[in-house]
Amino acid sequence: MNKVESLQNKLDLNNPDYFINRELSLLEFNRRVLAQAKDKKTPLLERLFFLCIASSNMDEFFEIRVSGLKQQVAYGTTQRGLDNLSPSEQLELINQVAHELQSSQYKILNEEVLPAMANEDIHFLHHDRWNQTQSAWIKKYFNRELLPVLSPVGLDPAHPFPKVLNKSLNFIITLEGKDAFGRNSGIAIVQAPRALPRLIQLPASCTSHKYDFVFLSSIIHKHATDLFPGMTVTGSYEFRATRNSDLYVSEEEAGDLMRALEGELPSRRFAEVVRLEVTNRCPQEIVDFLMHKFNLQPFDVYAVNGPVNLNRMMAVPDMVKLPHLQFSAFTPALQKRLLRSDNIFNTIKKGDVFLHHPFQSFSPIVDFLRQAASDPDVLAIKQTLYRTGDDSTIVEALISAAHAGKEVTVVIELRARFDEEENIELANELQNAGVHVSYGVVGHKTHAKMILVIRREGRQLKRYVHLGTGNYHAKTARLYTDIGLLSSDTAITDDVQKVFQQLTALGKAGKLKKVIQAPFTLHKSMLDLIHTETKNALKGEPARIIAKMNSLVEPEIIKALYMASQAGVKIDLIIRGICCLRPGIKGVSENIQVRSIIGRFLEHSRIFYFYNGGDIKLFGSSADWMDRNFFRRIETCFPIEEKRMMKKIVKECLQNYLADNIQSWILQADGSYKKKTLSGNTAKSAQQNLLKSYTE
């Protein structure tokens, strides 16, 4: 028996105490987001933005994660995860934490953010605070913009309880009296039009402050009587239902994936309700009525002390023009190598180009495609698209290339969650322009971020690639940290071409030389690299692992890291969100430290470092260390080999983050996080250091 096997036999790697529950870990991430909203050092409008992000995160958590657990309970599933929690036990714990987080969220809004905004002369006026001039303007607004499009439904045998749209703002209104037909059930439902803004800024002619806003809900509350002539409104209460939004399409049975998804999308709007948010003013009998209609239990109800759907306040920072209340504007840097050259292919040919977003501009990727579209020597362009955003310059470049007669092939992932509808429209737009569109491989999402350009140079065909950790989305490239590689390395470009061949054709593409690919080799390769560090440590040699990612869930990887820790490998994990590994367990994970960086930008890059006996292995990847990324997605993990670039990435993306003592949260053995305290007099913020470095 070798030393590694002996070490493995010593540890009961299936002990549930060694694993943190995935869902509770995700809720802890949202707690850290809320901490940014509470932090007075965060600019005021950004604090509001973090509150909105937390609200949006919780929506998705209920739509996908909670709904999945509820389905397991309904089907009688008793299967337990590595943490030994059943679906029903997880739901019980989730309900406790989620209610706590929601209460904290509205407390921060009401007791800290809104008073601070009032001090800046930004006010959100309740209808009992409107003066005569404001009331008159709002009355006209209601009659002009709202009254024609509102469709109140009085409940009676001919008007049953309506199918309330997922996450839409609704009002349940109690009434007295009878209408012209003698009807009165005492209850009506009004859905706020989704096309109208939830927040209305009052014009300067009737403001009493620098910025005065009213909520659409306040206007409807105030004028609810106008919707029911001759009747008396005795109560008006906001509510919002969150539904199961996880689409299910049997790909094996679907002859056309796009048509199958198009047919499934409407069901997202009216699927099973998993959460009810209702204003805390709502009487219990009305809450009970709604619970009965949505088939919910008391723990599914979230009483809201403020606007229902806080996410709608995300529009405020764009409406309030006060730069001192937001993060300082910055201009992403451009590399001198790219500025000096008017031909990006010549630049790449001289050496790989490293891109670090958002600190460096996204424009070189757009230029890469634009030059490929207009270059007469370029024959073909191939690209994967997962999320692109509206009015994408990337898409414009691809269409331009197709119009110029290039062979353009795009692999679109139709099942990118919550972007399905946009991606279907994108696929149709590209096909109409003459682009060859593929939807990838049945049973696997295409999550890899790749561009391949094939160019004729003399008598040869030369390939150029872009590989990245983030989506081809210009907006998120300003908000997410990601890295990218532009390269003409023969082995890497050949590998990328083989991966595209897998995605668009049938047959085996052959062994890849440098790129590591899921679902085939990525999991085994990561395990092998971890085991190498373990073996080296057991021999008394230096061993080191640093890994930066969004989520760590996959159990075999976690177990391998535990073994490496016990062998003496020093392991630092920089994980923004979910982490199921439990650090600090005596005899198991003392050598592992996990930190999460929460700051201005969403940490999104995946970077893996292995000391490897001094022959350092460094990778960028589209994949997190999760089951889905290893086994159910097409992912690429690409090596960084040029020494100067390797040194730069290790310094900027790893060491810089390990030194952060401002925005760094350290995972504790009990699954909670503690913010790292400033030691000494030197404050170090990884993101601020990079902003300063690149802007200077």
* 115, 282, 463 from 110: Cα distances, Å: 7, 19, 57
Give the DSSP H or E segment for 652.
Answer: none
pLDDT of residue 598: 97
Domains of the chain: 96-325 (3.30.1840.10), 336-513 (3.30.870.10), 518-695 (3.30.870.10)
Give the DSSP H or E segment for 309.
Answer: none
Backbone CA torsion sign across 121, 126, 127, 129: negative
* pTM, rounded to two decimals: 0.93
pLDDT of residue 417: 62
Q: What is the DSSP letter of 680?
A: T
pLDDT of residue 6: 66
The predicted-structure confidence for 118-135, as pLDDT tens digits, reads as follows: 999 999 999 889 999 999
Give yes or no for residue 360 having a pLDDT over 70. yes
Q: What are phi and psi of 349, to 5 degrees?
A: -65, -30
Q: Mean pLDDT for the chain?
A: 90
Under the banding of pLDDT at 50, 70 and 90, the label for residue 180 is low
pLDDT of residue 250: 44
Average pLDDT rounded to a whole number, residues 293-306: 95
pLDDT of residue 450: 97
Name, of 168-182, 324-338, 552-566, the range with top average pLDDT.
552-566
pLDDT of residue 420: 63
The predicted-structure confidence for 43-73, as pLDDT tens digits, reads as follows: 999 999 999 999 999 999 999 999 999 988 9
Give yes or no for residue 17 having a pLDDT over 70. yes
Give yes or no for residue 423 having a pLDDT over 70. no
Closest to 239 in 3D by CA, of 316, 147, 174: 174
The predicted-structure confidence for 200-241, as pLDDT tens digits, reads as follows: 999 999 988 999 999 999 999 999 999 988 888 999 999 999
Percent of the chain with pLDDT over 70: 92
DSSP string, 180-200: TTS---SEEEEEPPTTS-SEE
Under the banding of pLDDT at 50, 70 and 90, the label for residue 157 is low
Average pLDDT rounded to a whole number, residues 420-426: 72
d(CA 648, CA 441): 36
Q: Are 636 and 562 in contact (CB under 8 A)?
A: no
Q: Tell me the catalytic residues.
A: 447
pLDDT of residue 3: 65
Q: Which amino acid is at 211?
A: Y
Percent of the chain with pLDDT over 90: 73
Under the banding of pLDDT at 50, 70 and 90, the label for residue 440 is confident
Average pLDDT rounded to a whole number, residues 480-495: 97
Average pLDDT rounded to a whole number, residues 171-177: 91
Give the DSSP H or E segment for 62.
Answer: none
Under the banding of pLDDT at 50, 70 and 90, the label for residue 263 is very low
d(CA 478, CA 280): 38
Average pLDDT rounded to a whole number, residues 569-587: 97
Average pLDDT rounded to a whole number, residues 137-157: 89
- Range 396-412 burial, b when 16+ CB lie within 10 A, else e: ebbbbbbeeebebbbbb
Q: What are phi and psi of 20, to 5 degrees?
A: -95, 140
* 155, 177, 353, 654 from 648: Cα distances, Å: 66, 74, 12, 10
The predicted-structure confidence for 599-649, as pLDDT tens digits, reads as follows: 999 999 999 999 999 999 999 999 999 999 999 999 999 999 999 999 999
Cα Rg of the chain, angstroms: 27
Length of the chain: 696
Half-sphere exposure of 362 (CA within 13 A, CB side): 20
pLDDT of residue 229: 86
